A and B are shown apart, each in its own frame.
Chain A
Amino acid sequence: MQKVNYYLKKTTLILLLFSLTTFRANSQGKFSINGYVKDASTGEVLIGATIYPKELQIGAATNSYGYYTLNLPKGNYTLTISYIGYSNFEKNIVVDKDLHIDAELNPESTQIGEVVISREKANANVTRPEMSVVKLEMKKIRQIPALMGEVDVIKAIQLLPGVINAAEGSSGFSVRGGATDHNLILLDEATVYNASHLMGFFSVFNNDAIKDVKLYKGDMPASMGGRLASVLDIRMKEGNSKQFSATGGIGNLSSRLTLEAPIVKDKCSFMLSGRRTYIDVFFPLFNNEDLESSTMYFYDLNAKVNYTLNNNNRIFISGYFGRDKFGSGAMGFGFGNKTFTTRWNHIFGHNLFMNATLLRSNYNYFLESNTNDANAFKWDSEMKETSLKVDFNLKANTNHNLKFGVSTSLLTFSPGVVNGTSSDAFIRHWEIPENYSLEHGVYAMNEHTISKFILKYGVRLSVFQNIGKAKTIILDENYKVVDTKSYKSGEIYKTYINPEPRLGLTYLINDISSIKASYSRSAQYIQQASNSQAGSPLDIWFAASPNIKPQLADQWAVGYFRNFFNNTLETSVETYYKKMDRLIDFKDFASLLLNDEMEADIRAGKGHSYGLELYGRFTRNKIDGWISYTYSRTYRQTPGVNFGSTYNAAYDKPHNLSIVFSYNFSNRVSLSANWLYSTGQAYTQPVGRYEIDGVILPIYSERNAKRYPDYHRLDVSVIIKSKHNISRKWQGEWNISVYNLYNRKNAWAINFVQDPENSNKTYAEKTYLFPMIPSVTYNFKF
């Protein structure tokens, strides 16, 4: 394997150099067409819109900022721009010089059936030189029935092939055998370190504030790195630059309001969005004294401003702030994320696009006593990231699309600080000192078209450094702490460097079918100290160090993509094999909180995963949806865990099926349903018992060798829109949904317990969370 890796790395570099030298030669006699593609009603840029001249078999797509570049030989063309859910934009152009063409696309008329929407280039899924990528439109996500009516991007993602949810109702997800912390979750490029609210039942992403969601499951672009399994790239709305608009909703759990307006029409606009739950308002009604003295809520705020200085310069500033608060009579608990992103898009000449980003991200939590006795304390934990990234996209000519850039981050971890809070405190000040790391990346990647082949080759070089001031522990081969070592402030005491080749090949068989293959290597330097199934807000992030080597993954994937019925049915078959090394695992009964010697509890293991993913997505006039089926297996092997033998990973659920379906009865009424099936979660059963001091203790055998009963569930929702009235701006819509319609009691946990009535008796007990839950949400727009 080592040899193969070396060979791949070498090949990548040679190809890269080769492509760079061929640019100049090819670009003669061609002109560059560039510009932005936007929604005509809101001015929001459209991500992934396709641009192509009808006369030629070439095209381009808009990037994350809605920008495109296309190289054309001299001539007359009909330039066509298309985007799902929008009417095509067409324009006759004469190409005899470089052109800047901005396009505004109209959303499809709501009068379904009246307009025939042509979708000549709807085969983007087949022709795009990327695989293992899924994109979901916000409109579609909104239709999917949701728990308590809280439409949730992450829950929608979990319905896609290759994605497995961590536990019932959890925002944690596993991609192709990865752990939940192997996913890089980005909101406007800033990492969200804990994407969950309310113990994971809801995610931090307020649907109304989001414009675009894309999940990379393997074939990760070289511009991204730092996680083994996936990148979930979420972009916030920019704000309506045409007119003031408000969207909002009132639901069982929360209310939402989003305001958007131009500050300078077509130049500068803002978006402000908020959401807050109010379930605690109803606590007194439960007539339960524990609840009466409790608080429990979460809120989110998203804000974004963008300013278009001119055709070549655009600035975005965005931020997210969210918090969960829990409190009982005796104690309080809170956690939340903050992100702040400033971006500058600049176009050099006609074909070099640059995005520079400065961002900050923060996750923290606290636990504190609400009392004033000797045991009163406050416990804080925080992590911070400050990053600078510069990305370039050079559309050198028709056949080369080059992306390159650099990034650097400073990560600060403050794993835990405890202070006694009363005047007569027994608990003293105690802390795990702050520690610091630097993570850098430099990458280059080229998409190289050679007739029916599109080659994608690139490499990301990631560099990770531990930087003082720090005190590290030195471990012997039995993970015993034998010594400590201190480092001065600013001293770099450990550096890891990893070249991460990313290769892809697309072969276009014809207009409606293609074969794609990819290989990618990724390295991960920071991870979460979590060994529970669903993860908790207390799980801290920690960095690679002299004791903890970076995790590595190699993934190979092959896929066949084929569209049917004039591209209204998109299908794909993908298969992958993933090899993971130095995977973070924990010894039995590891102590992961407030442990200044936590590294001694960590064990590095190996893992591998393979799978087959089938996906079919259909979009017709009245019906749309998808069917996704995954067969996958994931295994792990860690010294000291499970007697050193290979075991089923926590997220190993071989069969996974999701059917997502919507039917539009009329312009006003639509019905959606989804049915999920998966093999039960792997767990460890006792094989015997013994008694100590009146308590029965289990004797366990193999880890994760047995399974919960199979999981399945049906959710439905009906959306009823108010009558369309042109003279009225207000548009309302009722969303009535039922989660778990046939009330299946899916196991959330299975426990083996001692009967409280008869201490000699033990039995198995299932805990299930959500029975049939109906909910009603009213959404509005004006």
Chain B
Amino acid sequence: MNSIIMKLKYLAITATLAMAVSCTEKIDINLDNTDVKVIIYGSITTDTVAHRISITQSADYYSNTPPKGISGATVTITDGENVYPLTESITEPGIYLTQPNVYGLPGKTYTIHAQNVAINGSSDFKEYTAESSIPALPENYQNIYLDSINVVYNDNWDGWIVNGWANEPADQRNFYMFRVYINDVSYSDSLNNLMISDDKLINGSSTNGAALYFIQEPDTLKAGYKVTLELCVINEDHFRFLYEAQTSSQPQIPVFSAPPANARTNLNNGAIGYFSAFAIIKSSYIVKEQDVLLKDKILGNKRGSK
């Protein structure tokens, strides 16, 4: 379950499979279809921003078009005391946003209500809800988990490792999601670029520079670039959802893969997707000239040895 271990496991497999003379080719397979389902996805976090919820609909597997947003829904998020209404984006149909001054608090449970939701072309309006809790954290959590980060080019991985100076609290079970921004632009915009880990193998441990995230390609980072790591403390169910969603988007390898299955959802009434609530702890680093020089030296040595 630990993402680092999983990554390493797949590395070993890839090496082996590269050896087996495996080839792939596209084939035509006719697929059955199923009812169109409502997909609700989004989150509320401890950041003070306009939090984003998307309401879309599922499609036939070979539909080959961007997902269709569902407009006109009434969406709110509540924590039991306050109600935060969401308004639909003018430019992106099906995207609903809170006011930009909204933020979540650790230990609180948030509920999303989406009303007046009907699949495009239908007048069968339905209501969907889901709830999610931000894990309870100590008062000064922003200063406990993550102290600082740096980036180092790694030859074995052909990319940049984001190392963290971090402390793992021993007194609770923690689940983490890591995201990276490069010059304030999300690098983790894809589900498969989220790194997730539980604390099983690192419970209570602290580190002066352990790999927390991985940025592909030597040229992604240049001197002066700002790299921001978000360490997100997520709840167990959310962690399992991410694991399941990532697994179900990855190819089946007969030697290792379990039978495919649908990723879990916390929505009711037949909708799928996930509503999450989590805490974000950030740390930034400006890429130094010597980080890039070190990379060039490693790459140069490698070319030289050829």
Contact = CB atoms under 8 A, between A and B. Distances in A.
A588 B243 CA distance: 12
Interface stretch (B72-80, B123-131, B189-197, B218-226): B189-197
Contact of A374 (B34, B56, B210, B261): B210
B211 A428 contact: no
B12 A367 contact: yes
Given A589-B244, A749-B254, A754-B249, A428 B201 contact: yes
B22 A767 contact: yes
Contact of B8 (A330, A424, A691): A330
Contact of A428 (B8, B27, B205): B205
Contacts of B23: 745, 767-768, 771
Contact of A375 (B4, B12, B245): B4
B26 A764 contact: yes
A313 interface: no
Contact of B209 (A290, A374, A428, A533): A374
Given A687-B61, A760-B64, A765-B26, A330 B11 contact: yes
B260 interface: yes
Contact of A369 (B8, B18, B34, B255): B8
Contacts of B26: 763-766
A688 B34 contact: yes
B24 A765 contact: yes
A290 B210 contact: no
A697 B67 CA distance: 12
Contact of A687 (B1, B5, B11, B31): B31
B211 A199 contact: no
A165 to B, nearest CB: 11
Given A594-B200, A704-B259, A534 B190 contact: no
A349 interface: no
B272 interface: yes
A424 B32 contact: no
A116 interface: no
Interface residues of A, number: 92
Contacts of B211: 373-375
A531 B263 contact: no
Contacts of B284: none
A695 interface: yes
Given A589-B244, A688-B33, A698 B1 contact: no
Contacts of B272: 690, 699
Interface in B227-273: 240, 243-245, 247-249, 251-263, 272-273
Contact of B252 (A294, A590, A692, A751): A751
A209 interface: no
Interface in A281-309: 289-291, 294, 296
B90 interface: no
Interface of B: 1-2, 4-5, 8-9, 11-13, 15-29, 31-34, 36-37, 39, 41, 56-67, 155-157, 163, 166, 189-192, 194, 200-211, 240, 243-245, 247-249, 251-263, 272-274, 302
Given A692-B245, A700-B260, A704-B259, 17 more contacts: A167-B255, A328-B15, A330-B156, A367-B8, A375-B210, A418-B5, A426-B166, A426-B207, A588-B262, A650-B259, A688-B60, A690-B59, A691-B39, A695-B245, A760-B66, A763-B62, A769-B20
- What are the 9 A-B residue pairs with the smallest beta carbon separation, nearest first? A588-B261, A426-B210, A374-B210, A330-B156, A426-B207, A695-B191, A693-B191, A687-B34, A533-B254
